[in-house]
Structure 1
């Protein structure tokens, strides 16, 4: 003998797929935490790759990591002229903050300024990065003496 279909049975049967869709949607938004972790990992990886190139003095390859490489008025030749610092050691120590498309990364470095005969100077700095078209790019610090210089 078959049971008659009740209103409650009908609502539960029809509502189950809707409830499942809502639960799957909630689980997907929980992925934002994983996405933030992935974003931080991508920034760290890109920052480490950039600083490894800088330490090897491969500024031609490092150009692709620079924010200014996306500026049509900036040139590789102009970027290469900004040298003068040699890096003996660089250590990317972690992401300090990510706020939208801007981020800061903690970097420790030991460097020399051969033209000034300064050797083995050490500094810890907050390195600025900017996301452009979904990819993190290093932001060149402006000169303290010439803030409008590129």
Structure 2
């Protein structure tokens, strides 16, 4: 025996998933619904601040922007040992993409590798960022030669 479908039953059946998705979305963003423009603006602000610190060679300040800083196994000391690149100029050129909690930012840079006596090289990089706890963090690139190195 089938029950007739009432208007109330139909509304509850169709609205429940939408309400649940909205609540989950609010919980993921700390209770606030963030527009795509605000999300991009927050990412660009963080990226510009991070790259400004890197250009000034303020690696201690930049540590707070790194995804690694959220890893209990990573240390500031180990992070400071990485490097060897001097950035002469850096320009964050915009957000390439945001997909969930991952993003790519276009960054132009002019850099030198003093130990190798290489000067004034230019590149445009796709800089990876990850949202952790509602805040964007820079993702350290893994070494091409040593992909398991941290």
What is the SS of the residue equivalent to 1:11?
helix
**Range 54-63 or range 32-41, more displaced:** 32-41
CA spacing shift, 1:18–1:88, aligned 2, 3 Å: closer
CA root-mean-square deviation: 7.6
1:43: how far off?
Answer: 0.1
TM-score normalised according to structure 2 size? 0.78
Higher helix fraction: Structure 1 or Structure 2? 1
CA spacing shift, 1:128–1:8, aligned 2, 3 Å: closer
Unaligned runs of 5+ in 1: none
Residue pair 2:29, 2:134 contacting (<8 A) in 1 also: no
Residue pair 2:109, 2:124 contacting (<8 A) in 1 also: yes
1:20: how far off?
Answer: 21
CA deviations over 1:20-65 (Å, ceiling 9, x no partner): 9999999999999971100000000000000000000000000000
Residue pair 2:26, 2:33 contacting (<8 A) in 1 also: no
CA spacing shift, 1:106–1:4, aligned 2, 3 Å: closer
What is the SS of the residue equivalent to 2:9?
helix
CA spacing shift, 1:70–1:19, aligned 2, 3 Å: closer
What is the SS of the residue equivalent to 2:93?
strand
The count of aligned residue pairs is 150
1:83: how far off?
Answer: 1.3
Instruction: Measure the CA separation in 2 of the matches of 1:2 and 1:148.
Output: 59
Instruction: Measure the CA separation in 1 of the matches of 2:13 and 2:144.
Output: 69
Instruction: Measure the CA separation in 1 of the matches of 2:77 and 2:36.
Output: 36
Runs of 4+ residues over 4 Å off in structure 1: 1-34
Name the counterpart of 2:2: 2
What is the SS of the residue equivalent to 1:33?
coil
Unaligned runs of 5+ in 2: none
1:13: how far off?
Answer: 26
Please tell me whether Structure 1 or Structure 2 has the larger radius of gyration of its CA atoms: 1
CA spacing shift, 1:99–1:27, aligned 2, 3 Å: closer
